[in-house]
Amino acid sequence: MPDRRTAILGHLGGLTAKAAVSGGEGPQRLYLSREAMAPRPLVNEAEVRARFEARGFVTVRPEELSLETLCSLLSGASHVAGGYGSAWLNLAFCERKPACMVLAPDYYEGFLREVSMWLGGMAAPFGLLLGSHDGDLDAGDLLYATWRLELDRLEAAIDRFLAWRAPT
C-alpha cells in the first residue's frame, strides 16, 4: 500500500494530466474576486474590482467554477490579479503562466512567504501590492481581520502591471 504522500502526489498527477491546459480562449485580463469569501475581507473590494474592470479585466469568482474552466481561463490570460488566497494554487495546473498581481494585507508576513513560494515555485511572474489593516488587529483573529487598498496606489500599480511584458 502506498504511503500517504505517494497517494496524494499520484492523485494530483492525475488531476494535472486531466486539467492541464495550454491556453484556453477567453479574456486576456482576469480579476479573481474574493467578495463572497469570509476570510481576509477586503473592505473596499467593490471599488478595487471596478478599477480593474475599467482597465479591461473580467471578474471571475473561482469558487463558482470547475477546475477545468478555471484553469482554461487562467492559461489563456496574459494578466491575472486578485486577493491573496488559494485560487492562486490553480496555476499549478496551467502549462502557461500569466503575469500575476497579488493583493494582500500587510498584517501577516506569512501571506507573503506563502504566495512567494507558490508562485515562485511555479515560475509564474508576479508582483505584490500590500494594503493596510482596517481597524484593530486581534492576534488570534488574523484570518478574519479586515483590510483595504489605497485606490491611488492601486491604480498606479495596475498601470505598471499592464506595462510589464514577459521576456522573449
Q: What's the grid cell of residue 85?
A: 488566497
Burial of 112 (0-12, 13-18, 19+ CB in 10 A): middle
Whole-prediction pTM: 0.83
Residues 35-70: tens digit of each pLDDT: 988 788 899 999 999 999 999 999 999 999 999 999
Task: Provide the residue ranges of all domains of the chain, joining segments of one domain with +.
Answer: 28-134+143-163
Instruction: Say yes or no to pLDDT of 123 above 70.
Output: yes
CATH architecture of 28-134+143-163: 3-Layer(aba) Sandwich (3.40)
Residues 93-112: tens digit of each pLDDT: 888 899 999 999 988 888 88
